[in-house]
Homo-oligomer: A and B are copies of this chain.
Amino acid sequence: MAAIEHLTVGSTDPPLVEGKLRLYSMRFCPYAARVHLVLNAKKIPYDPVYINLINKPEWYTSRIPTGKVPALVTEGTDLYESLIIANYLDEKYPENKLQSDDPLRKAKDSILIESFGKVGSIMYKMYFNDIDTETFDQFLGALDDFEKELSSRGTTFYGGNTVKLVDYMLWPFFERMSMFALPDKPQFKIPESRFPCLTKWMSAMKGDEAVKQHYLRPDQHAHHLNMRKAGTPDYIIIE
């Protein structure tokens, strides 16, 4: 297993690397993952610096007003908020455009991403409390809208026949969903019969190169979560 260095109290901010964007991240954070995916998909060279969010470096909290990850250093400026960074990257680096040029399509994708908030907040409850059937049912109910939307779009991906920004913004949360069924709780698996389009989408997303470069298995995510819940957070990726 590999311990990923996450800078903490007492550290110093590493100097920027020539020719690379600096991304402040946390290896297990779904919001930071969004930016990793966009950078990977667009093949933009970047230098990730991981931040210990439990004991943040002093320089980080004084540098980034929210104290959160992700944050991107670009053109001499610190940007934060995952969606803002993702849009910025897609506009600044127009090769392999990840958003539609159609304003209506863009707006609908933005609404879809925004509306994922309700799924996200139920997931958060499931992370930090013991997962129960009632909460899992609420979770599946909230997920129904995403199955329905994907079905009505009639394509493998939300973005069409190739992976687009909207897919990358949603994926990090889906990557983490499978951990609820671990280690021996198959009742908390997302049922394929109820979510046929999402099941196919998840499988296709796992095959995407940008996703593969940042992917962690459910048991790897679960290890991190369990250590956090036990009050002994680490940044170890188990084999």
Task: Find A75's partner among B74, B77, B104 (CB 8 Å cutoff).
Answer: B104
Task: Determine whether A111 belongs to the interface, using a CB cutoff of 8 Å to chain B.
Answer: yes
Task: Find A84's partner among B79, B80, B91, B107 (CB 8 Å cutoff).
Answer: B107
B103 near A88: Cβ-Cβ < 8 Å:
yes
Contact with B along A88-128 (1 / 0, CB 8 A): 10011000000000011011101100110000000000000
Copies of this chain in the oligomer: 2
Q: How far is the CA of A103 from the CA of B81 in the complex (A)?
A: 15
B107 near A79: Cβ-Cβ < 8 Å:
yes
Report 17 cross-chain contacts, Cβ distance below 8 Å, ordered by A residue.
A74-B104, A77-B104, A77-B108, A80-B111, A81-B111, A84-B111, A84-B114, A85-B107, A87-B103, A87-B106, A87-B107, A87-B110, A88-B103, A88-B104, A88-B107, A91-B106, A92-B104
Interface of A is mostly: helix
B103 near A91: Cβ-Cβ < 8 Å:
yes
Q: How large is the interface on A (under 10, 10 to 19, 20 to 34, 35 or more residues)?
A: 20 to 34
Min CB gap A155→B, angstroms: 18
